Copies of this chain bind each other. A is one copy, B any other.
Amino acid sequence: MNTLINLQSKFELFSELWSPKVIAEMNDYQFKLVKVKGHFTWHEHRDTDEVFIVIEGSMGIEFKDRTVKLNDGEMIVIEKGVQHKPFASEECKVLVVEPRGVVNTGDAGGSLTAENDVWI
Protein backbone atom coordinates (compact mmCIF):
# COMPACT_ATOMS: atom_id res chain seq x y z
CA MET A 1 0.00 0.00 0.00
CA ASN A 2 2.30 2.80 1.24
CA THR A 3 -0.69 5.05 0.56
CA LEU A 4 -2.03 7.82 2.74
CA ILE A 5 -5.40 7.08 4.40
CA ASN A 6 -7.48 9.95 5.78
CA LEU A 7 -9.70 8.61 8.55
CA GLN A 8 -12.44 11.25 8.31
CA SER A 9 -12.67 10.85 4.53
CA LYS A 10 -13.14 7.13 5.02
CA PHE A 11 -15.80 7.66 7.71
CA GLU A 12 -17.77 9.74 5.21
CA LEU A 13 -18.12 6.70 2.93
CA PHE A 14 -20.60 4.81 5.10
CA SER A 15 -23.35 5.41 7.64
CA GLU A 16 -24.28 1.97 9.02
CA LEU A 17 -23.79 1.46 12.73
CA TRP A 18 -21.87 -1.48 14.24
CA SER A 19 -20.59 -2.50 10.81
CA PRO A 20 -16.78 -2.38 10.66
CA LYS A 21 -15.16 -1.37 7.37
CA VAL A 22 -11.58 -2.35 6.60
CA ILE A 23 -9.32 0.53 5.56
CA ALA A 24 -5.88 -1.08 5.79
CA GLU A 25 -3.94 -4.25 6.43
CA MET A 26 -0.60 -4.58 8.22
CA ASN A 27 0.71 -8.14 7.88
CA ASP A 28 -2.33 -10.25 8.86
CA TYR A 29 -3.91 -7.49 10.95
CA GLN A 30 -6.66 -5.16 9.85
CA PHE A 31 -7.51 -1.55 10.66
CA LYS A 32 -11.28 -1.08 10.61
CA LEU A 33 -13.53 1.94 11.04
CA VAL A 34 -16.83 1.55 12.83
CA LYS A 35 -19.60 3.94 13.83
CA VAL A 36 -21.31 2.99 17.06
CA LYS A 37 -24.51 4.22 18.74
CA GLY A 38 -26.81 2.42 21.13
CA HIS A 39 -25.96 -0.85 22.78
CA PHE A 40 -24.03 -3.71 21.21
CA THR A 41 -24.27 -7.34 22.30
CA TRP A 42 -22.24 -8.99 25.04
CA HIS A 43 -19.50 -11.05 23.42
CA GLU A 44 -15.89 -12.13 23.59
CA HIS A 45 -13.14 -13.00 21.12
CA ARG A 46 -11.67 -16.29 22.26
CA ASP A 47 -8.52 -16.22 20.16
CA THR A 48 -7.37 -12.62 20.09
CA ASP A 49 -7.04 -9.27 21.80
CA GLU A 50 -8.53 -6.28 20.03
CA VAL A 51 -7.92 -2.54 20.21
CA PHE A 52 -10.43 0.31 20.09
CA ILE A 53 -9.19 3.84 19.42
CA VAL A 54 -11.85 6.56 19.66
CA ILE A 55 -11.42 9.05 16.80
CA GLU A 56 -14.48 11.24 17.40
CA GLY A 57 -17.11 11.28 20.11
CA SER A 58 -17.44 9.18 23.23
CA MET A 59 -18.31 5.58 23.95
CA GLY A 60 -18.29 3.13 26.79
CA ILE A 61 -17.42 -0.50 27.20
CA GLU A 62 -19.15 -2.58 29.83
CA PHE A 63 -17.16 -5.36 31.38
CA LYS A 64 -18.61 -7.84 33.84
CA ASP A 65 -17.00 -6.01 36.76
CA ARG A 66 -16.97 -2.39 35.61
CA THR A 67 -17.58 0.14 32.82
CA VAL A 68 -14.89 2.14 31.00
CA LYS A 69 -15.71 5.43 29.24
CA LEU A 70 -13.57 6.51 26.29
CA ASN A 71 -13.35 9.91 24.63
CA ASP A 72 -11.58 10.83 21.41
CA GLY A 73 -7.84 10.35 21.69
CA GLU A 74 -8.27 7.41 24.03
CA MET A 75 -7.77 3.72 23.37
CA ILE A 76 -8.20 0.39 25.09
CA VAL A 77 -6.90 -3.13 24.60
CA ILE A 78 -9.59 -5.74 25.18
CA GLU A 79 -7.86 -8.98 26.04
CA LYS A 80 -8.92 -12.22 24.42
CA GLY A 81 -11.60 -14.08 26.27
CA VAL A 82 -12.90 -11.03 28.11
CA GLN A 83 -16.64 -10.48 27.86
CA HIS A 84 -17.50 -6.94 26.84
CA LYS A 85 -20.38 -4.83 25.54
CA PRO A 86 -19.70 -1.53 23.75
CA PHE A 87 -22.26 1.25 23.88
CA ALA A 88 -22.63 4.92 23.00
CA SER A 89 -25.36 7.48 23.66
CA GLU A 90 -24.41 9.54 20.60
CA GLU A 91 -22.75 8.34 17.40
CA CYS A 92 -19.07 7.69 18.00
CA LYS A 93 -16.36 7.02 15.42
CA VAL A 94 -13.88 4.29 16.29
CA LEU A 95 -10.75 2.75 14.79
CA VAL A 96 -10.49 -0.98 15.57
CA VAL A 97 -7.29 -2.99 15.18
CA GLU A 98 -7.42 -6.78 15.22
CA PRO A 99 -6.35 -9.82 13.18
CA ARG A 100 -7.96 -10.45 9.81
CA GLY A 101 -11.00 -12.68 10.17
CA VAL A 102 -12.36 -11.46 13.50
CA VAL A 103 -16.17 -11.24 13.53
CA ASN A 104 -17.62 -8.24 15.35
CA THR A 105 -19.90 -10.26 17.62
CA GLY A 106 -17.22 -12.84 18.42
CA ASP A 107 -18.74 -15.96 19.95
CA ALA A 108 -22.19 -14.47 20.45
CA GLY A 109 -23.66 -14.17 16.96
CA GLY A 110 -27.06 -12.51 16.65
CA SER A 111 -28.61 -9.78 14.55
CA LEU A 112 -25.74 -7.33 15.02
CA THR A 113 -23.25 -9.66 13.37
CA ALA A 114 -21.79 -7.72 10.44
CA GLU A 115 -20.41 -9.04 7.19
CA ASN A 116 -16.69 -9.46 7.68
CA ASP A 117 -13.79 -8.17 5.60
CA VAL A 118 -15.73 -5.36 3.89
CA TRP A 119 -13.29 -2.78 2.52
CA ILE A 120 -13.96 0.85 1.85
Contact = CB atoms under 8 A, between A and B. Distances in A.
| Number of this chain's copies in the complex | 2
B79 A51 contact: no
Nearest to A69: B4
Interface in A29-53: 29, 31, 48-51, 53
Contact of A51 (B24, B73, B84): B24
Nearest to A6: B74
Contact of A76 (B3, B27, B74, B79): B3
Interface of A is mostly: strand
B99 A73 contact: no
A92 interface: no
Contact of A49 (B26, B77, B80, B82): B26
Interface string A1-17: 11111111000000000
A25 to B, nearest CB: 7
